[in-house]
Amino acid sequence: MPAFQTSPGMRDILPPDSARWRRFVDVFAGIVGPAGYGLVIPPLLEDAGVFQRVGEATEVVTKQMYRFTDLGGRDVALRPELTASICRAFAEHRPAVPWKVWCAGPQFRYEKPQRGRLRQFEQVDVEVLGVDDPHVDVEVIALGWRFFQALGLRRVELALNTLGQPDDRRRYVEALRDHFEAHLDALTEEGRQTLTRNPLRVLDSKRSGDADVIAAAPAMTDHLSDAAADHFATVRAGVDALGIPYRIEPRLVRGLDYYLRTTFEYLGGTLDSAQNALGGGGRYDGLVEALGGPATPGVGFAVGVDRTLIACDDEGVFSTPAVGVDVFVVDTTGGAEALVITEELRQAGRSADRAFDGRSMKSQMKAADRSGADVAVIIGPDELAAETAVVRPLRVHGDGTPDQAVVPRAKLVHHLIQHHSLRSPAPLASEDE
């Protein structure tokens, strides 16, 4: 066993998986960028008060924060979510509205790790601040949907609900409290504890013992004001107009307490555990104000990278991109020539690698094969003396050994670019799938 390993719930992401992660974020940026969203990069560490406004009854902030006093005596926390940070940034800098931004990065919650749930977890996220129009709800919902499609996922389900205006929500919570308190004996012990913190959250219980009381609970739709009902109707009509399938999920409440009006979740079609929510979001019109900014409507969503990649694995889509270089240089004369040739190729915008430590030709050819290169350049004593290089194709399909060519050393890079279809200089951005 190594002397050190990653802390629980943390992990290293190594090649080649790391390339997949990076591409995941690239795909997301490719969806939201053209829709007018700009990247915002808030700090990972904030005043703990920023997150406390997320909700006193939310376990995420009451029990799960990495919170500590820094050397200057500040009460700080590693961010347990992105939305609060982005709203704080808005309140602090007061950008012009609408403020359409996206974000990607790690968040931290002190939980017991399991499949699809880590203590450091990555999300990609969009937020729109300063727009009340229900059509922006639709835009945001559609962006998430298109993102899952772009990854190749076909079995994601969209669930929609509304929690009403603040007054509606308040009245509904009271109605729920009355209902559950009248049937306390039908609730599990855990359900009763949730009830004292937040009656809304009881609806989110996955305990079978609570199922009957929840099924009999009053519905939000009976407590909606006309304005909230209109807003939601427009959202639904917009999602319909875009041809995005969804279902109304009256029991859908979100984990954070700031949500009101539109809420939604994207559910993975193959993960059937409690971790089947790939992402979700909704409106949080009061959050900026709670953080000391002007009254500002807001809507957004976040997608969990881990869970979504698990869903991709289950559906067999969005595979790890092949890594490799264009050219592998084999040099049995000491390696100095390989040093120069790889440099020339890289300067010319082509990727190139080589072996070190003066290995045998056989060993270097093996390395060339493993490197994924399409072509090997071979420099031996003869080539060095004659100022030539052997160019050997490695990836010719069919039978027989491919022909190798001897080219003048001075024309080597030119020859490779002319006669071999080398990959683009930025393989990560390529659309090779």
Spatial distance between the Cα atoms of 160 and 141, rounded to a whole number of angstroms: 10
The DSSP string of 378-428 is EE-HHHHHHTEEEEEES---SSSPPP-EEEEGGGHHHHHHHHS-PPPS-GG
Whole-number minimum distance, CB 47 to RNA, in Å?
21
Whole-number minimum distance, CB 333 to RNA, in Å?
9
Question: Closer to RNA at the Cβ: 73 or 397?
Answer: 397
Whose tokens are 């040093």? That residue is 339
Whole-number minimum distance, CB 123 to RNA, in Å?
6
Question: Closer to RNA at the Cβ: 248 or 274?
Answer: 274
Whole-number minimum distance, CB 72 to RNA, in Å?
28
Sites for RNA among residues 116-155 (CB under 7 A): 116-118, 121, 123
- 23 closest CA partner among 147, 158, 157, 154: 147
Question: Closer to RNA at the Cβ: 93 or 411?
Answer: 411
Tokens at 274, concatenated? 């409690």
In the shown chain, the binding pattern of residues 39 to 58 toward RNA, with x for contact by CB under 7 A and - for none, equals -------------------x
Question: Closer to RNA at the Cβ: 296 or 388?
Answer: 388
Q: Under rule CB under 7 A, how many of the chain's residues touch RNA?
A: 72
Query: Exactly one of 105, 113, 152, 427 binds RNA (CB under 7 A); which one?
Result: 113
Whole-number minimum distance, CB 359 to RNA, in Å?
4
Question: Closer to RNA at the Cβ: 357 or 431?
Answer: 357
The DSSP string of 311-339 is HHHHHT-SPPPP---SEEEEE-S-SHHHH
Q: Which stretch binds RNA (CB under 7 A): 37-45, 115-123, 167-175, 212-220?
A: 115-123
Spatial distance between the Cα atoms of 91 and 85, rounded to a whole number of angstroms: 10
In the shown chain, the binding pattern of residues 161 to 190 toward RNA, with x for contact by CB under 7 A and - for none, equals -----------------------------x
Whole-number minimum distance, CB 264 to RNA, in Å?
11
Sites for RNA among residues 325-344 (CB under 7 A): 332
Query: Exactly one of 220, 326, 383, 413 binds RNA (CB under 7 A); which one?
Result: 383
CB burial of residue 32 (10 Å; 0-12, 13-18, 19+): buried
The DSSP string of 15-41 is TTHHHHHHHHHHHHHHHHGGGT-EE--
Question: 197 with 255: CB under 8 angstroms?
Answer: no
Question: Closer to RNA at the Cβ: 123 or 262?
Answer: 123
Tokens at 113, concatenated? 């790790």
Distances (CA, A) of 1 to 4, 5: 8, 9
Distances (CA, A) of 250 to 213, 215, 217: 14, 10, 10
250 binds RNA (CB under 7 A): no
Spatial distance between the Cα atoms of 95 and 196, rounded to a whole number of angstroms: 39
In the shown chain, the binding pattern of residues 196 to 215 toward RNA, with x for contact by CB under 7 A and - for none, equals -----x--xxxx--------
